[in-house]
Amino acid sequence: MEEYRDLFLAEAHEYLQSMSQLLLEMEKKPDNEQLTEMFRAAHSLKGMAGTMGYDLIMELTHDMESLLDKLRTGEAALGRDFVNLLFEAVDLVQILIDNLENQDHFYEEVQVLKTKLRGWEMAPAEKVPCQNTLPEELPSRENISTWNDVINEFEKETLKDALSKGEKIYQINVLLKQGSLLKSVRAYMVLKNMEKHGEVVKTIPSLQLLEEEDFDREIFLLLVGNPDLEVLRDDILGIAEIENVDILLLDGETQLNIDGALGGNSASELQAAAALESGLLMEKEESAVALMEVEREKPDEDLSGFVKNSRNAPLSSRSVEKTIRVETAKLDSLVNLVGELIINRTRVVELGKKVEDELLDGSLEQLERVTTDLQNAVMTLRMVPIRQVFDRFPRMVRDLCMEKDKDMELVISGEETELDRTLVNQVGDPLVHLLRNAVDHGLEEADERKRMGKEAQGKIFLEAHHEGSHVVVSVEDDGRGIDPEAIKTRALEKKMITKEEKEKMGPEEAIRLIFHSGFSTSKEVTDISGRGVGMDVVKTSIEALNGTVEVKSEPGKGSKFVLRLPLTLAIIRALMVESAKETYAIPIEAIRENLFVEPEDIKTIQQRKVITLRDEVLPLYCLKESLGMGEFEEQEVYPVVVVEAGDKKAGLIVDELLGQQEIVIKSLSRFINDIKGIAGATVLGDGRVTLILDVASLLEDGRV
Amino acid sequence: MGLKVLITDDTAFMRMTLRNVLEKNGFEIIAEAEDGLQAVEMYSNLKPDLVTMDITMPNMDGIEAIKRIMKDDPEAKIVVVSAMGQKTLVIDALNSGAKDFIVKPFQPDRIVEALQKVGSS
């Protein structure tokens, strides 16, 4: 049962996600297809919950289904309240799923919502002509689709043309014999033999899948022309290993929806539907002749259109990747082991250098190459598309807009961009923050927008892409932007800057003030600047991930926040330093520069050491002291590492700078994982364990 | 007497297997070629009703042999008997004029079916 539950959870989550998405789409632009799919999602969820014995979920989804049905009968129309109610139901189902163990606690809520769902009546204002009728037949899993759903506009045109020329459309079902080999070539022969009878407009499976032999035994073809059916039949049956051929005449208008109407359930249509069930796809462009001649690589999107087994896929018409589910713990342990391997490899390679043996060198080089490839391959296993985070934002922005009574659109792009799973989990909150700010403060009221000559509907662009070994995520709005003067005034009031500094400060520097911890929290700030709520939190959390945040803004035009994150957290570049005879690693992202400081440059302010660096007073901490490993000692010259975290910056005095290298981060065991100043540990090539410094906590007060 | 077949394969084992299967099913094996060159020669001398053609062979491969036989006799009925995983070669062979193909290791009824279908067309 445990296994079933995991599967249920995974699928239920997908269904809920897709329901949210569909609701959003429907609200924007109602469409039968979405309604059908929504219906199916509710229906499937109901069935799954029923099987698992989750009665509350079953009851709830049943009522959702009934409510959706009312759209068909015209008893309900798609209005804001309607969508809200369905969202409410989706949310409650989510809560129930999150609390499978004690669902009964939510009994009351479920009953209340059920009453609402059942008692739904349209507000009079919404009694407008309803365009959103469901198709006559209620959709069920057994009848998902018809040719109509898989032929594209171009193919439809071809069919139309053919009809107008007096040609006919045939569906030809070809069944290969069990155990046939080189099926792709068989399919090729079938297509080739059909050439003289007419034009093959579409195949199920698609030509690509046929070519890849990604199909079972059945091929369905759509042929136009005026063939002699007997000859056609013999020509196909004349091929070896063909078990059976069925030829069906299709009626273009009713069965292929060529003139706009979707027809009833003819036998052929049902067969096509069955074909779709047994393992299919949505395919586009490709001409029938091109099957084998073309050995080009297809773009990924085409591949993802293939659903190996649509019964296991929650929504067969959505693209589903060919994937297997693996427990994340297993993946983590794999990454860990590879980390160990890399460390050991470095040790062996170092030992090998001492031996100076040519044969050994050669095989060590080979070992290095293979392990590096392995490392890269394993790292990609942990990569997930950022879509997982982005998916919840359209809903969130919509709700926010409702709340604030604003009109805006969230435009998402680059959601395919992949990054480390652990990062995906942690980048969500900062993004929520930025999006909230954009809606809350960035975007003007409608009348202000009008005055500025902007479109009434505001826009927020959420974008992600790769840049070298980084992932860049940006949140951009076309709102009122940030006024540097207002920020400066505010900062002066808060005594964060002096009057003098205010005069000298450029606009960019001024805008960066919003990341200072002292700046936010006050409500008035938002009224003046439109920005600044908890920005320091965003900066700190991104930096904790070894990332950076930048902001660009033009008053009146909008703001853009750019987050730059490393692809992975497991391996980082670090500067190795020595202090009190110990080696420490400092993550390179936290380091601004390295200096050598003469003793006479060190001043003391309020019993603390400082230096002046380019007109800036920089506190100096002795790493030894900070870590409680020793006393500050007089030296001729001090190596200093300038580090930055959040809005704090300081110099760390170390004994020696040792150089940069890649390190594999190992977390400390849970008994000691909460030590201030230490982020983790790593093992060096020579086997020594080295601690990785946590700059942020070191800078909090210079002490741990 | 049944249809006359020329078997082409570079391995004696495969030639023997084909011969046994086909003779049991009423075909008459009139010759065995060990490579493409022999097959072309034997075809023009013996004019068999059907030819089975391996693809990878020494001296002259099956594709070239098919091309030459088809040039010699456009009505020739050749069935490719190929090893697994030779997709592109099989397609080449079909485009060169072979009528059908079968994949080794074959099920006896499949080669018989293929030859009967091609032979009766």
Q: Is residue A43 annotated as part of the catalytic site, yes or no?
A: yes
| CA of B91 vs chain A CAs: smallest distance (Å) | 7
CB A648 within 8 A of CB A536: no
Q: Cβ of A212 under 8 Å from any chain B Cβ? A: no
ipTM field: 0.86
Helix (H) or strand (E) holding A26, with range, is: helix A2-28
Are residues A346 and A289 part of one domain?
A: no
Q: What is the pTM of this model?
A: 0.46
d(CA A552, CA A475): 11
Q: What are phi and psi of A271, to 5 degrees?
A: -65, -40
Highest mean pLDDT pick, A202-206, A499-503, A606-610, B46-50: B46-50
Kindly state the average pLDDT of the residues A318-331: 66
**Max Cα separation, chain A?**
103
End-to-end distance of chain A based on CA atoms, in angstroms? 48
Nearest to A240 among B82, B86, B102 (CB): B102
| DSSP result, A578-629 | EETTEEEEEEGGGEEEEEEE-GGG-EEETTEEEEEETTEEEEEEEHHHHTTS
In a domain, A621, yes or no: yes
Let me know if residue A511 belongs to a domain: yes
Q: For residue A145, is pLDDT > 50?
A: no
The residues of chain B scoring below 70 in pLDDT are 1
Q: In which band, very low, low, confident or very high, does the pLDDT at A286 lie, cut at 50, 70 and 90?
A: very low
Q: What span, in angstroms and rounded, lies between the C-alpha atoms of A259 and A525?
A: 59
Query: Would you say A184 and A212 are in contact if contact means Cβ atoms under 8 Å apart?
Result: yes
Average pLDDT over residues A607-634: 86
Do strands B4-8 and B28-33 pair parallel, antiparallel, or not at all (unpaired)? parallel
Query: What DSSP assignment string belongs to B7-71?
Result: EE-S-HHHHHHHHHHHHHTT-EEEEEESSHHHHHHHHHHH--SEEEE-SS-SSS-HHHHHHHHHH
Distance set, CA A437 to CA A253, A460, A485 (Å): 52, 11, 19
Cβ-contact A691, A626 below 8 angstroms: no
Q: pLDDT: is A204 or A258 the higher one? A: A204
User: For A480-524, what is each residue's pLDDT tens digit?
Assistant: 888 888 888 888 887 778 888 888 888 888 888 888 776 764 444
Torsion of CA A482, A487, A488, A494, to 10 degrees: -170
Partner-chain residue, chosen from A179, A237, A240, that has the shortest CB–CB distance to B100: A240
pLDDT at A297 over 60: no
Residue A293 and residue A369 in one domain: no
Annotation marks residue A437 as catalytic: yes
For A474-486, what is each residue's pLDDT tens digit? Answer: 999 988 888 888 8
User: Which tokens belong to A246?
Assistant: 């069925």
In this predicted model, what pLDDT tens digit does every residue of A132-141 receive, in sequence order? 333 333 333 2
Render pLDDT for A400-421 as a digit per residue (tens, 0 to 9): 888 878 888 899 999 888 888 7
User: What is the token pair recorded at A451?
Assistant: 């005055």
Secondary structure letter of residue A139 according to DSSP:
P
- CATH number at A416 reads 3.30.565.10
Residue of B91, B102, B110 with shortest CB distance to A188? B91
Going from the N-terminus, what domains does chain B have, and what CATH number goes with each? 4-120 (3.40.50.2300)
My answer on whether A370 and A494 are in the same domain is no
Using one digit for the tens of pLDDT, what is the confidence trace for A635-652? Answer: 888 999 999 876 678 899
Contact A188 B121 (CB under 8 A): no
CATH code for the domain in which residue A623 is found: 2.40.50.180
Asked whether residue A365 falls in the same domain as residue A443, the answer is no
> What's the order of all strands across the beta sheet hosting A168-176?
A199-204, A218-225, A168-176, A242-250
pLDDT top residue among A308 and A625: A625
Name which residue leads in pLDDT, A602 or A36: A602
Q: Which domain holds residue A167?
A: 142-304
Report yes or no: B101 at the A interface, CB cutoff 8 Å. yes
Based on the fold, state whether residues A586 and A690 are members of the same structural domain. yes
Bridge partner list, A680: A692
For residues A232-245, give the mean pLDDT. 89
User: Does A318 map to a domain?
Assistant: no
Instruction: Answer yes or no: do A501 and A553 share one domain.
Output: yes
The answer to whether A587 touches A695, Cβ cutoff 8 Å, is yes
In chain A, which residues have their Cβ closer than 8 Å to the Cβ of B103?
Answer: 181-182
Residue A572 gets the label, from left (phi > 0), alpha (psi -120 to 50) or beta, of beta
Judged against a pLDDT cut of 80, whether residue A164 lies above it is answered with: yes
Instruction: Report strand pairing: B50-53 vs B78-82.
Output: parallel
Residues A165, A152, A310, A32, CA torsion sign: negative
A194 is written with which tokens?
């059909």
Place of tokens 């909230």: A436
| Domain total in chain A | 5
Q: What is the pLDDT of residues A250-282, one digit of tens each?
A: 876 656 665 533 333 444 444 444 444 343 333
Worst-scoring range by mean pLDDT, A86-95, A541-550, A675-684, A693-702?
A693-702
